[in-house]
Each structure stands twice: as C-alpha cells, then as structure tokens.
C-alpha cells in the first residue's frame, strides 16, 4: 500500500520504519529534511511538500506535537488527498481538534482517524505500542493490519475523538501514578527508609504497576534522563484540564499533578524524564534558611 | 511453635487459620468472644487477657485497626507486656502510624520483648489465599525468627529496614493505591462525560504505560458498579490520615496524596465509608451531575 508519514521524531521514525519493513511504499516529508535520511536510505520516497505526500498515498500518518500542528498539516494535506483516503493522526491532541479536523475532511469525502499511542520510544521501536483509535468502524479492515505492525494492543474506542479521550485518560492515570511514586519515594526518604526496598516490596502487591516498575525504578536509582520527556506530559495536562473545564468533569488529583508539572517546567527540567517529579518534591529540602532570608 | 494471635477480623481470621494449618498451636484472645467461634474445632487455646496469651506464646501476632488498639493490646493493663516471657516477639500486622510503631517498639523493648511491624497489602482475598504482600520493619534476628510464620500468610515477605520501616512502606503503598483509585475514577468519569465508553478506555489503557493492578481490578469493579468491599473507604481514609500526619510531622509536601485524602474525607462525610474505595467514582459522578 502507498502510505505517507509526516512527523519523524522519536516516535514517528521507528513507526514509519516498521511500515516500510512490512513492505509498504512509504512517502515522507519533514520540516527538517535530515530526520528522513535513515528512512530514505531504507527505500522511502522523499516528497517536496505535505500535499505531494497526500497525493501519493491512500493513507497518510502524522505524528506531531500539538493540535495546531495537526490542523495546520490537515489544511495542506487536504490539497492532495483523494476522496476515500484516510488521514491517521497518532499525535496526542485535544479531542475537539480531532473532531474539527474530521468535519473539515468530511466535506471532501476524506476520512480522519485519531489514533494516539502509549508506550514511549521503546514501545515505538519494539512495535509494542498501545493504540487507542477513534473513527468509523467501517475503516477497521483497512487500518487494523497497519496498526498490528506498530503495536500489540489495538482498541477502537469509539467515534472520532474517542481515541484522544482515551489518551487523556491514559495520561491522567499514568502521570498521577508517577506523582504518587514520587510522593512515596519522598516520604520514604524523609523517614530514612530505602525506597528501592519499598518499591521491591510493593511491586508484588495491589500497588503494582508499570509506572512503579519503570518510573519508580528511575527514582530509586536517580536516573532522570528521558525516557519520556516531561514537557510532553505537561502539554497533555494542559489539554486534558482544558477539556475537563469545558465538560465540567471534576479532576482533583489531576489538578494537583498538573501544578507539580508546572513547577517541574519552571525548574527547567522539561527535557528530563517525568520521574523528575521526585526532584520537584526535593527542591525545598535544606533551603529553610535560604527561603526565610529572602 | 506456640503462636498468639489477637485481632481475628476479616483479615486476621484466615491468617490465623493458615498458621494453625501449618501445624502451629494458636493462643487466642478476642475483644468480642464470638470472634473465637471459628476456632472451636482447631488446635487453639483461648484466654481471658492478652497477658495470658503472651505468657503461653513465643510469638504474638496482632492484627487490629489502629495505633491506640495496638498500644492497648501491647502495653495496657493485662496487655502483652504484662505477661510476656523474656524474648517474646510481638509482630504487629496492623496498619498504623510509623512513629507510633517505633514508640510502641521502644516501650516493649524496655520490658524485654521484641517488636516487629509487618503491615500487609492484598486485602481479604490476599489473606484468604495466603497471598499477602508483607512489609517488615525490625531487627534482622527477630525477622529471621518470624519469617517462616509470615511466609505461611503471604507470598512476598520483605525486610525493609529498622522498626517503623514496614509502616513507612505500607504508607507508600497506600499513596500509590489511593491516588491510583482516584486517578482511574477521574479518568472513567471524564470518559463518560465525553460520551466515550469507559470499558473501551480501560481495555486500551491496560496495554500501555498506564497499566496497573488498580486499573485492572478496581477498574473492572467500577465498570461492574460493584461497590461492595473489598477494602472499605473509611479504612483508606484512615491510612491517608496516617500518611498526612507523617507528612505534617516531617514537613513534607505530598500534593496528590493530599487531594486524595480530601476526596476520601468527602466520601466518609457523605455516608459512603462502608463502601469499597472505588466509591470515589460515585462521589465524582455526584459532583458532576446537575441537581434536579
């Protein structure tokens, strides 16, 4: 199949590579041309613009950062996409932006699917992502063989936008768990107890989670190299708190977590791993005199 | 071995029976005599006071609700300290304040007894299936003596550190489970209010970085709207109170635990404390539905 791919970053590049290796003809464009080099060496075709990608492809995939990036690209892809073509967006954006883009395409008979992923750079490289997608169920036969190449858990959550709602839920549950780990590690440290042992004991019990395993492990060894860049989680929290405000859903824990992410960003740690939430709780250690003295 | 056991409730009863089945002789006292009924047919002796239990046992296990109960059983009139022989080991498996555990341990040591804190995670099912996670604080020598007993009740037994360290680990555990339950409840309510099926969301999330036992098990019970305990919300409120007391004592900022504790205050205040912790979902739903 002819597939387009735009957004060849930490996630997008390995995902595009899997599609190429599965035998698809891959058409790529990138704002920074160098990010396509390795894919071109493997046989992908360079296109001069998003519209050229769109014209060459039955399905165009995007994996970019913000709602505005996706909506900006959609305006360009619209020039080249044929009726019946599908734009699959793997980015994490606002559910309302996904629904708007689908409505824009619908007038031309073009399909839009939101398919955000969870699993990070490792998940993308190992093709073990969780893919949560929203869109017409009639598109499933065309999409699921592609998704199967990229991830190991693929769920159609509902109509367009539903994938982004699921991803918002994913971020709430995941980052709240990272913050809870950080608070547990801080409590253990304050009490003079080795968090590495506490983590080991908890892993087998009802507090066991992937976050405790992976992010708790990074906190125990103080390895704050990303991982998952905290600035991306911070961005996702702005989206989900905005959406919560819009629909009137009370999120007391998520709101507290959001403020900790704000503090993390203010410390300049946005490109570190989100396990740096532990460092945020350590900031006030031993500075009582300094703060009081102004 | 002669093992004393005090606190034969939902958790304590199956735990004590595992020890009896393993060939140990049980020595029991209960505040409510009817708690002793299930032990009439097994190898167990009953007494009028904790002191008498202590006089007949090498190790006494305590599994009660909160620090004042532990203190009374250990150090009150006719308490364990009043009857224990030199070298008695008291294993407290209740969830109490770490600092209270250290204090009780010191006072027992002054009277010639060892104290080990060994709180558990895994709930009633964990107790029934001898699959508890047991987090231990105390001296290594005492730990080695009681470890074979603990292994009859749990599948993971870890010495975390000195006296009180088991309770610190349990506090950490309750931060993760409390915040975890709230986060899943917030996510499901958010999905439902967005017109998206929470069951599909849970299914999708289980494969990703949000995977947790809470999402899997508690999440499933939220979807089934089965709010029967399980683990009662008022007990989680109590555990969060202990955590926030410790945070206050040490001057620690625990923002997500604090937000969670406030929600559990509201749950108990709304008369939902006897429900399972997952009743947090019902509270959020109540808060986001118009009054009619």
Over chain B, what is the mean pLDDT? 96
Tokens found for residue B275: 């429900």
Domain check: are A102 and A230 in the same one? no
Q: Which chain B residues are closer than 8 Å to A211 by Cβ?
A: 209-210, 212
Tens digits of residue pLDDT in B60-95: 999 998 999 999 999 999 999 999 999 999 999 999
The string of DSSP letters for A242-282 reads HHHHHHT---HHHHHHHHHHHHHHHTT-TTSBGGGHHHHHH
Q: Comparing C-alpha atoms, which of B135, B136, B132, B114 is closest to residue B123?
A: B132
Selected for mutation to probe chain A from B190, B221, B278 (highest A CB count within 10 Å) is B190
Shortest distance between the Cα of B13 and any Cα of chain A, in A, equals 20
Q: Let me know if residue A120 belongs to a domain.
A: yes
Nearest CB among A152, A168, A206 relative to B122 is that of: A206
Domain check: are A148 and A231 in the same one? no
The residues that bridge with B135 in the sheet, in sequence order, are: B158
The residues that bridge with B154 in the sheet, in sequence order, are: B132
**Residue A267 among the catalytic residues:** no
Q: Let me know if residue A294 belongs to a domain.
A: no
Q: Let me know if residue A143 belongs to a domain.
A: yes
**d(Cα A139, Cα B23) in Å, to the nearest integer?**
63
Domain check: are A41 and A155 in the same one? yes
The answer to whether the bond into A286 is cis (omega within 30° of 0) is: no
Q: Let me know if residue A291 belongs to a domain.
A: no
Looking at the structure of chain A, the number of domains it has is 2
pLDDT tens for chain A, 294 residues long, are: 999 999 999 999 999 999 999 999 999 999 999 999 999 999 999 999 999 999 999 999 999 999 999 999 999 999 999 999 999 999 999 999 999 999 999 999 999 999 999 998 899 999 999 999 999 999 999 999 999 999 999 999 999 999 999 999 999 999 999 999 999 999 999 999 999 999 999 998 899 999 999 999 999 999 999 778 999 999 999 999 999 999 999 999 999 999 999 999 999 999 999 999 999 999 977 654 444 443
A113 sits in which H/E element: strand A111-114
Whose structure tokens read 């470890």?
B147
The string of DSSP letters for A168-182 reads HHHHHHHHHHHHHHH
Domain check: are A271 and A129 in the same one? no
Structural domain harbouring A183: 165-284
Selected for mutation to probe chain A from B179, B181, B221, B253 (highest A CB count within 10 Å) is B179
- Name the burial class of residue B10, with classes exposed (0-12), middle (13-18) and buried (19+) by CB atoms within 10 angstroms of its CB: middle
The answer to whether the bond into A227 is cis (omega within 30° of 0) is: yes
Is the distance from CB of A64 to CB of A6 less than 8 angstroms?
A: yes
The answer to whether the bond into A158 is cis (omega within 30° of 0) is: no
**d(Cα A20, Cα A158) in Å, to the nearest integer?**
28
**d(Cα B125, Cα A119) in Å, to the nearest integer?**
31
The residues that bridge with A158 in the sheet, in sequence order, are: A134
Domain check: are A113 and A245 in the same one? no
C-alpha A241, offset from chain centre: 16
Domain check: are A118 and A172 in the same one? no
Q: Let me know if residue A278 belongs to a domain.
A: yes
Q: Comparing C-alpha atoms, which of B115, B104, B78, B94 is closest to residue B12?
A: B94
Interface contact flag, A256 B263, Cβ < 8 Å: no
Nearest CB among B121, B184, B252 relative to A186 is that of: B252
Nearest CB among B213, B256, B262 relative to A176 is that of: B256
Pairing assessment for the beta strands B132-137 and B120-121 based on DSSP bridges: antiparallel
Interface contact flag, B123 A118, Cβ < 8 Å: no
Tokens found for residue B8: 């034969």
**d(Cα A216, Cα A218) in Å, to the nearest integer?**
5
Interface contact flag, A184 B176, Cβ < 8 Å: yes
Given 3-state DSSP classes, what are the helix, strand and coil percentages for chain A, each rounded to the nearest 5?
55, 15, 30
A290 sits in which H/E element: helix A288-293
Given 3-state DSSP classes, what are the helix, strand and coil percentages for chain B, each rounded to the nearest 5?
55, 15, 30
Task: Give the pLDDT score at A286.
Answer: 62
Task: Give the pLDDT score at A86.
Answer: 98
Shortest distance between the Cα of B256 and any Cα of chain A, in A, equals 5
Size of interface A-B (CB pairs under 8 A): 286
Q: Residue A119 belongs to a domain with what CATH number?
A: 3.40.50.720
Q: Which chain B residues are closer than 8 Å to A183 by Cβ?
A: 175, 179, 254-257
Q: Let me know if residue A292 belongs to a domain.
A: no
With CA atoms as reference, the chain B residue closest to A155 would be: B204
Shortest distance between the Cα of B69 and any Cα of chain A, in A, equals 23
Q: What mean pLDDT do residues B19-32 have?
A: 97
Where in the sequence numbering do the catalytic residues of B fall? 170
Shortest distance between the Cα of A42 and any Cα of chain B, in A, equals 29
Task: Give the pLDDT score at A226.
Answer: 78
Q: Comparing C-alpha atoms, which of B182, B76, B26, B67 is closest to residue A177?
A: B182
Domain check: are A142 and A180 in the same one? no
Domain check: are A152 and A238 in the same one? no
Shortest distance between the Cα of A174 and any Cα of chain B, in A, equals 4
ipTM of the complex: 0.88
Interface contact flag, A252 B203, Cβ < 8 Å: no
Q: Residue A187 belongs to a domain with what CATH number?
A: 1.10.1040.10
Q: Let me know if residue A289 belongs to a domain.
A: no
CA diameter of chain B = 66
Interface contact flag, B173 A176, Cβ < 8 Å: no
Nearest CB among A120, A157, A177 relative to B212 is that of: A177
Is the distance from CB of B77 to CB of B21 less than 8 angstroms?
A: no
Domain check: are A6 and A151 in the same one? yes
* pTM score of the predicted model: 0.90
Tens digits of residue pLDDT in B181-190: 999 999 999 9
Interface contact flag, B210 A259, Cβ < 8 Å: no
Task: Give the pLDDT score at A74.
Answer: 97
Task: Give the pLDDT score at A293.
Answer: 41
Look at residues A159, A194, A225 and tell me which one is the last residue of a structural domain.
A159
Interface contact flag, B210 A210, Cβ < 8 Å: yes
Q: Let me know if residue A290 belongs to a domain.
A: no
Tens digits of residue pLDDT in B125-147: 899 999 999 999 999 999 999 99
Task: Give the pLDDT score at A290.
Answer: 47
Selected for mutation to probe chain A from B205, B239, B287 (highest A CB count within 10 Å) is B205
B102 sits in which H/E element: helix B98-110
Look at residues A126, A159, A192 and tell me which one is the last residue of a structural domain.
A159
Phi/psi for A241 (5° steps) reads -70, -35
**d(Cα B221, Cα B60) in Å, to the nearest integer?**
36
CA diameter of chain A = 67
Q: Which chain B residues are closer than 8 Å to A119 by Cβ?
A: 207-209
For B83-102, b/e burial (b = at least 16 CB within 10 A) is bbeeebbbbbbbbbbbbbbb
Look at residues A117, A137, A159 and tell me which one is the last residue of a structural domain.
A159
Domains in chain B (CATH in brackets) are 2-161 (3.40.50.720), 168-287 (1.10.1040.10)
Q: Which chain A residues are closer than 8 Å to B205 by Cβ?
A: 118, 130, 132, 166, 169-170, 173
Selected for mutation to probe chain B from A127, A160, A193, A219 (highest B CB count within 10 Å) is A193
Interface contact flag, B206 A153, Cβ < 8 Å: yes
Shortest distance between the Cα of B260 and any Cα of chain A, in A, equals 6
Q: Comparing C-alpha atoms, which of B274, B266, B241, B257 is closest to residue B67?
A: B241
**d(Cα B132, Cα B125) in Å, to the nearest integer?**
9
All residues at 6 or more sequence positions from B283 whose CB lies less than 8 Å from its CB, including other chains: B185, B263, B266, B267, B270, B272
| Band of residue B290 on the pLDDT scale cut at 50, 70, 90 | confident
Q: What mean pLDDT do residues B13-23 have?
A: 97
Is the distance from CB of A254 to CB of A172 less than 8 angstroms?
A: yes
Nearest CB among A153, A157, A197 relative to B208 is that of: A153
Interface contact flag, B196 A250, Cβ < 8 Å: no
Interface contact flag, A197 B161, Cβ < 8 Å: yes
Domain check: are A54 and A185 in the same one? no
Interface contact flag, A173 B213, Cβ < 8 Å: no
Domain check: are A130 and A23 in the same one? yes
Is the distance from CB of B197 to CB of A158 less than 8 angstroms?
A: yes
Domain check: are A255 and A154 in the same one? no
The string of DSSP letters for A193-208 reads --HHHHHHHHHTSTT-
Nearest CB among B184, B188, B209 relative to A120 is that of: B209
């Amino acid at each position: 199949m002819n597939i387009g791919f735009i957004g060849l970053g930490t996630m997008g590049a390995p995902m595009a590579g899997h599609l190429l290796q599965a035998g698809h003809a891959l058409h790529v464009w990138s704002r920074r041309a160098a990010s396509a080099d390795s894919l071109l060496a493997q046989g992908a075709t360079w296109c001069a613009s998003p519209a050229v990608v769109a014209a060459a492809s039955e399905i165009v995939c995007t994996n970019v950062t913000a709602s505005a990036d996706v909506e900006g690209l959609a305006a360009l892809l619209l020039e080249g996409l044929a009726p019946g073509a599908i734009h699959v967006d793997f980015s994490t954006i606002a559910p309302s932006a996904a629904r708007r883009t689908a409505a824009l395409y619908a007038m031309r008979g073009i399909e839009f699917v939101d398919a955000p992923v969870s699993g990070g750079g490792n998940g993308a490289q190992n093709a073990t992502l969780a893919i949560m997608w929203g869109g017409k169920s009639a598109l499933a036969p065309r999409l699921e063989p592609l998704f199967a190449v990229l991830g190991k858990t693929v769920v159609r959550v509902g109509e367009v936008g539903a994938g982004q709602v699921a991803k918002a839920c994913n971020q709430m549950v995941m980052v709240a768990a990272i913050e809870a780990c950080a608070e547990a590690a801080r409590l253990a440290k304050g009490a003079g107890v080795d968090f590495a042992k506490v983590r080991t004991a908890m892993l087998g019990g009802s507090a066991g989670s992937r976050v405790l395993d992976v992010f708790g492990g990074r906190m125990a060894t103080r390895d704050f190299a990303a991982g998952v860049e905290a600035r991306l989680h911070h961005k996702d929290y702005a989206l989900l708190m905005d959406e919560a405000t819009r629909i009137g859903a009370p999120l007391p824990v998520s709101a507290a977590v959001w403020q900790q992410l704000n503090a993390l960003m203010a410390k300049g740690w946005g490109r570190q791993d989100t396990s740096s939430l532990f460092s945020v709780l350590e900031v006030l250690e031993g500075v009582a005199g300094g703060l009081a003295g102004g | 071995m002669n093992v004393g056991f005090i606190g034969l409730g939902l958790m304590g009863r199956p735990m004590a029976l595992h020890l009896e089945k393993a060939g140990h002789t049980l020595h029991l006292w209960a505040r409510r005599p009817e708690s002793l009924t299930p032990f009439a047919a097994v190898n167990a002796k009953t007494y009028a006071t904790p002191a008498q239990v202590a006089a007949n046992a090498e190790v006494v296990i305590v599994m009660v609700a909160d620090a004042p109960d532990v203190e009374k059983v250990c150090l009150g009139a006719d308490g364990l300290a009043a009857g224990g022989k030199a070298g008695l080991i008291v294993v407290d498996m209740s969830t109490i304040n770490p600092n209270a555990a250290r204090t009780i341990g010191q006072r027992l040591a002054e009277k010639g007894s060892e104290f080990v804190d060994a709180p558990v995670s895994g709930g009633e099912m964990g107790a029934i299936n001898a699959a508890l996670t047991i987090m231990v604080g105390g001296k290594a020598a005492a730990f080695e003596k009681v470890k074979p007993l603990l292994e009859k009740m749990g599948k993971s037994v870890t010495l975390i550190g000195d006296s009180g360290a088991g309770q610190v680990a349990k506090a950490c555990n309750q931060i993760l489970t409390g915040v975890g339950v709230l986060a899943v409840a917030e996510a499901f309510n958010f999905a439902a209010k967005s017109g998206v099926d929470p069951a599909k969301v849970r299914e999708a999330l289980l494969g990703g970085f949000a995977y947790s036992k809470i999402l899997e098990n508690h999440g499933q019970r939220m979807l089934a709207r089965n709010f029967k305990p399980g683990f009662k919300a008022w007990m989680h409120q109590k555990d969060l109170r202990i955590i926030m007391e410790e945070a206050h004592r040490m001057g620690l900022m625990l923002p997500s635990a604090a937000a969670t504790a406030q929600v559990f205050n509201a749950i108990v205040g709304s008369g939902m404390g006897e429900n399972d912790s997952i009743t947090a979902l019902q509270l959020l739903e109540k808060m986001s539905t118009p009054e009619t």
